[in-house]
Every structure is written in structure tokens, then in C-alpha cells.
Homo-oligomer: A and B are copies of this chain.
Amino acid sequence: MTKDRFYIEDAGKHDGQIVTVRGWVYNKRSSGKIKFLILRDGTGLLQGVLFKGECTEEAFGEFEKLTQESSIEVIGKLRKEPRSPGGFELGVQSIKIVQVADPYPISLKEHGVEFLMEKRHLWLRSQRQWAALRVRSEIMRSIQEFFDDRGFVRFDAPILTPSSCEGTSTLFSTPYFDEKAFLTQSGQLYGEVGAMAFGKVYVFGPTFRAEKSKTRKHLTEFWMVEPEVAFADLEDNMLMGEQFIEHIVQSVLSRKAPELKILERDLTELENIKGPFPRISYDEALKILEKRGIALPWGEDFGAPHETALGEEFGKPVFVHHMPSDIKAFYFKQSDTVGGPAVSGTGKYALGCDLIAPKGYGEIIGGGQREESAEVLQRRIAEHGLSEADYSWYLDLRRFGSVPHSGFGLGVERTVAWMTGVEHVRETIPFPRMLNTLRP
């Protein structure tokens, strides 16, 4: 199996051995009688060197035929070479060409983003894209590890839903036999079902928003992880979010340092992402914003400049809690005062908590404590103009053993952007879906 095969990322375990590298030509150059071949096998880059006497005569001939991205199998001897990227080089003995590639459209020089997005299926082979998606893969892994290690049950919510979580204006929809189905924009309400059945669950899957926005933080299709815990309040929820973010950061730092180096990510900045994260109320946030010269009237939601300013104020992720009820969804538990007792559905404040990432990467976590009274929830559903019949199953959770419960959603792509320092979320997922982008 592939497990027993040599891969470049395992070079350290094979020093001095003869190995076969199966991969592609990333680059090549000649320096007098010595030929250099940069090999790529999907797990890393390795410099191959062709010396007369060490490799076959044929290998020199084959070398001449190789174009960028040609596929090859190269046999050679691995040896330490501190000057090489990765610390090893391959003393090439023989080259077997699998295919000489057509002239490759992406050179190692600069191209426009529009062109590269059209060639996304090839662009992914380039170093920065490759590195960013390796970090993504690690983030996906560490997300699962965090919850699996803590006894959470993975609870896959449906993608096709009969109604929406927060209104239908930005939903994709499909004919579903004789009905209409909407693509989910959050698995949270289903996650609450799971919390009552399994105690603590996480929903983890793609979600969809048919928004026409063209910002660097929006995709129409993006992955979310949404934990939900029974018998947990707002404080528990912030603590879980904090530990969760710390876990992801530590995993990426300890397992993907070479990729972060390729991306020229400032590691000190990541190393400083340690709890406790500041926790401020919305009211306190308004004071900070006023002080920083971008005052916001009470009751309005943060925009990108406000998030950026809050990030600058603290230099690390910050939780903002107790937002105005009117700008939050119907399912939030409410409170009359910040720090006062939670009351059911009469309060000015929603028991929400959003985690704002530094440097303008925006809201990474959005969550809070859910309303647990069936009566209040019925009223809220009516106030939001939603159909009670559509939510009767959701109300059942409050009729049959209602408990305080909380959860949050973390957007994967924004988290990848933040961890990698990549400017635009389109580079944080293999095939981004945006307004005007449905291909390849």
C-alpha cells in the first residue's frame, strides 16, 4: 500500500538509502556539467542532482526532454544537504519518464488571479496554494480531534432542508420531487436535537449562502463546524471556543511549520494566540470603538472596520458577548442586563458570543446560549415572521426535557485564512464557489 512507499516528506527516515521518487518536475536547471531537477511528489519538494558517473548516460538524455510538470520516476540516493529546501538531496541514478507534459500554462512567475482561478485544477500544484491547503487539511483534522477526544458525537445534519435556519432570502434551493428543498446555511437547529440525544455533538459539513457579496471573506459554499452542548451556558461556551481555537493553533504550529514558512506566516503571532481571550460585552465594545474614532450607534451590528479596530485593540482574538437582541436570530436566550440573570425572551440583550480574529480576519466563531422556553420561542418565531409549523420539531426540544444549552459555529475557510495569513478566502478551499465562480 501507499503507506510503505517512499514520499518526500519522509526523507528524514531514509538518509543514505536508495529510493524511488514518483512525481513531477517542478523545475530544472543546468550548471556546467551538473544538472539540477526539482522534484515534486505532492508531499514536498526534493532537489535531484545529476553527476556524471553517479547516474546513467540515459538519464542525461531524459533530463533534456523534461518539461515543467512532466511525470517521472526517479531512482537515486538520498543524502543530507543542509543547503537544500527540506535538508536533503537526491543523487539521481536513473530517470524513467512517465509522460512529457505539454507546455505548462502556469510558469513559476507571476500570473493574474483571474487566470489562476480558471486554472485552479493546476494552480493547486503551486507552492503557496499547496501549502495553504495542507494547512487546511490539518485544521480539518484538528477540529475533529478536539471533539472526538472529548467524547462528542459527530452528528451529520442534513444539507437538504425543508425550511431555513434564519430566513430564506439568501438560500439556494432545488426541486425535491414534489416539493422544494433549501441548501442548509447552518446545521445548528439539528445540532440541538443531537445535544439532547447525545449530550454533546458536533455538526461538521458544507453550508451555503446565496449572497451576492464580493468580499475577501465570503464564499457561497463553505465548511462549518458547529458543536452543541446540553447543560452548558454562555460562559461554558466561550471557554469551549477558547480551548478549541488554542487546540487548532497548536496543531497547525506543531505539524505544519514548513508550510507556514512557505506562506511566510509570522509564527510569533500564532504562538501568541493563547487563552484566556478577552471577553467584552457589546456595550464595552462600543466604548472602545468610540475611543478609536469609529463610534457605532447602539443596536447596530459590527462591520469590517469595527472588527478590525477591536482586533487591533487587543492583538489577540476577543469575545464580544451580550449583543442587542434585535440583531440576533430568534433562538438566542435573552437577558435584561449584562451580567444579570438570563431571562426568557423579554431582554434587550441576546446571550450571544462572537469571537473576532485579529488583523481584520473577522468573526471566526459565532454562537451563544439558546432559548429553552417553548412559550418564549413560539413568540420569537412569530415575531420573526417564521412559520410555527416549520419549527414544531424544534419546539419539541423545549417540551420534552428542555435544558440550558449552548453552541457555536466556526467557519473553516476564515480560520484557514487567519492561520495561513492568506488574504482572500478563495485560496483556502480547493474549488471556491463565489458570485461568478462555479468552475472548474
Contact = CB atoms under 8 A, between A and B. Distances in A.
Interface of A: 1-3, 5, 7, 9-10, 22-25, 41-43, 69-71, 73, 98-99, 101-102, 104, 120-122, 124-125, 129-130, 133-134, 136-137, 140-141, 144, 148, 150-151, 153-162, 172-177, 179, 181, 183, 190, 193-200, 205-206, 208, 210, 212, 220-221, 223, 229-232, 236, 239-240, 243, 372, 393-394, 396-397, 399-404, 429-431, 433, 435-436, 438-440
Nearest to A139: B154
B401 A99 contact: yes
Nearest to A244: B1
Given A158-B433, A431-B157, A399 B101 contact: yes
A41 B229 CA distance: 11
A188 to B, nearest CB: 13
A32 to B, nearest CB: 28
A150 B25 CA distance: 24
Contacts of A125: 196-197
B140 A154 contact: yes
A193 B121 contact: yes
Contacts of A372: 99
A126 to B, nearest CB: 9
A240 B1 contact: yes
B154 A42 contact: no
Given A124-B197, A136-B154, 5 more contacts: A71-B401, A159-B159, A160-B433, A173-B174, A205-B205
B71 A403 contact: yes
Tell me what chain A mostly uses at the interface: helix, strand, loop, or mixed. Answer: mixed
A17 to B, nearest CB: 18
Nearest to A150: B3
Given A177-B435, A199-B7, A220 B160 contact: yes
B154 A137 contact: yes
B172 A176 contact: yes
A162 B154 CA distance: 30
B429 A156 contact: yes
Contact of A430 (B41, B156, B210, B440): B156
A176 B211 CA distance: 10
A198 B438 contact: no
A38 to B, nearest CB: 14
A141 B154 contact: yes
A396 B121 contact: yes
Query: Nearest 10 CB-CB pairs, A to B?
Result: A42-B199, A393-B440, A71-B401, A124-B197, A22-B231, A172-B174, A69-B401, A42-B198, A137-B154, A158-B431
A438 B69 contact: no
30 contacts: A1-B236, A2-B229, A9-B151, A22-B230, A25-B401, A43-B151, A71-B403, A101-B399, A101-B400, A102-B400, A121-B394, A124-B194, A124-B198, A133-B197, A134-B198, A137-B153, A155-B430, A157-B430, A159-B159, A160-B172, A160-B208, A160-B433, A160-B438, A161-B438, A162-B438, A162-B439, A173-B174, A177-B212, A183-B183, A206-B206
A440 B392 CA distance: 9
Which one of A156, A160, A236, A436 has the highest number of Cβ atoms from chain B below 10 Å of its Cβ?
A156
